Amino acid sequence: MANNPYESAMTQLKRAAKIINLEPYILDILKRPVRILETGIPVKMDDGSTKIFQAYRVQYNDARGPFKGGIRFHPSADLDEVKALAFWMVIKCAVVNVPFGGSKGGITVEPKSLSLRELQQLSRGWVRAFARYLGPKKDVPAPDVYTNPTIMGWMADEFGQVAGEWQPAAFTGKPIALGGSQGRTEATGHGGFLVVEALIKKLNLNKERTTVAVQGFGNVGFYVAKKLHDAGYSVIALSDSKGGILDKRNHGMDPENVMRSKKEKGLIGGCYCAGMVCDCENYQKISNAELLEMEVDILIPAALENVITAENAGRIKAKAIVEMANGPTTPEADEILRQKKIVVVPDVLANAGGVTVSYFEWVQNNTGEAWKRAEVLDKLKPIMENSFEEIWGVSIEKKIDLRTAAFALALQRIAEAIKARGL
């Protein structure tokens, strides 16, 4: 079965629209993006040849405020994926009630195959291609899979040059030196951690006895795993795109040590290190597929979409899934998980800490302020906790799963904005 992320997104939309009796014209507006931008970006490669890279920006809806969403550099990035991700940004911003619409960008590229110079040329090319549609009050990009603050710094610089003035609020997730916000890099992981803390209270779990498996060891997977470990949870399984490790001893692994060994050895599955002592024998190597089906309390997919499907959902043994990736669960898998009474905290809530701190960065850039890390994380906490409570409440009241509840809440807010504009 083909798992087209855009079809999945539209299935989720229609399901929630039905439950809240969304007006058909609002549903029709949300079934398509406002604007699709697509082009080829030429890059002069180090070997003297010129390569053209396929690039996208999908501006999905801006009823609630400027378009907002990350840019993904990935070999499998395509239009349907970017459309789905842009739509999920619309819902996500409404879930946490930040005054943004939703968009997403992408370039079809294996960024690891580029030199730093080629990567910078490509990043600047993306901005030049779409600049007239970007800006603090139009569309504000940010990092996503395989993009980072360094890339946002180049992009913000390019935008300033094209616009003829420095506009820090045009991009978020920038380096601190260029007006980036303290706490932005860890924000998505921190938000996920706050969601897990709220969830275990509802499930009556004790964190010292709660086991966690995290798929994905990028910025999001690393920080959520680290924060859970530091708070006393047992992170017993971790993986990256090449494979994973399992360690059930002594409250699991310290992600900081795993990161160190990943940096030294290049991939997860080298050695598991505690402090200076490395253990290359006692941990067990596992595949990404095995990680998803492990017997743990909380499973955290934090990599890419479509990893929990009709094919493997029946074998999932976790009590709860906290989606830190965007779109990791297909609608067919959702149905199976519902029947198995596995609680799924949806991406549009669980990973919304990132865009929330992007909003804080935008506010700081617009006002010329620079908040301290503690202030940023203190402001994030009530937003994540209250959003979780609200959605949990809707799910109980309407007897629906958390994803549908989150969509229902978001759709009501979006519909209100569309109506208020008199469209």
Detail the residues annotated as belonging to a binding site. Answer: 68, 92, 188, 219, 358
- The CB-of-420 to ligand GLU minimum distance in angstroms stands at 23
Q: Which residues have C-beta within 8 Å of that of residue 128, sequence separation ≥ 6?
A: 158, 162
Measured in residues, the chain has a length of 423
Q: How far is the CB of 206 from ligand GLU (least distance, A)?
A: 30
Binding-site residues for substrate, please? Answer: 68, 92, 358
Catalytic residues: 104
Nearest approach in angstroms of CB 125 to ligand GLU is: 20
Q: Which residues, in sequence order, are CB contacts of 33 under 8 Å at separation 6+?
A: 58, 59, 60, 61, 83, 86, 87
Helices 402-420 and 5-19, axial angle in degrees (round to 10)? 80
Taking phi over 0 as left and psi of -120 to 50 as alpha, with beta for the rest, 191 belongs to: alpha
Beta bridge partner(s), residue 142: 70
Binding stretches for ligand GLU (CB under 6 A): 68-70, 92, 142, 144, 172, 326, 351, 354-355, 358
CB of 156 or CB of 294, closer to ligand GLU = 156
Which residue number, 92 or 319, has a Cβ lying nearer to ligand GLU? Answer: 92
Q: How far is CA 141 from CA 108, 261, 404, in A?
A: 17, 32, 27
Residue nearest to ligand GLU (CB): 70
Rounded-to-integer distance, Cα 240 and Cα 217, Å: 5
Q: Which is nearer to ligand GLU, 223 or 272 (CB)?
A: 223
Which residue, 149 or 269, has its beta carbon nearer to ligand GLU? Answer: 149
Kindly report the backbone phi and psi dihedral angles of residue 299, in degrees, each rounded to the nearest multiple of 5, phi listed first. -105, 130
Tell the smallest beta-carbon distance from residue 102 to ligand GLU (Å): 9
Strand (E) or helix (H) holding 227:
helix 219-231
Smallest distance, ligand GLU to C-beta of residue 100, A: 8
Cα 270 to chain centroid distance, Å, stands at 27
Nearer of residues 236 and 409 to ligand GLU, judged by Cβ: 409
Closest CB to ligand GLU among residues 172, 215 = 172
Cβ neighbours of residue 411 under 8 Å, at least 6 residues apart? 13, 16, 17, 20, 22, 26, 30, 91, 94
φ/ψ of residue 105, rounded to 5: -125, 165
Work out how close the CB of 128 gets to ligand GLU at its nearest, in angstroms, rounded to a whole number: 20
Smallest CA-to-CA distance from 313 within 331, 287, 326 is with 331
Annotated binding site for NAD(+), which residues? 188, 219
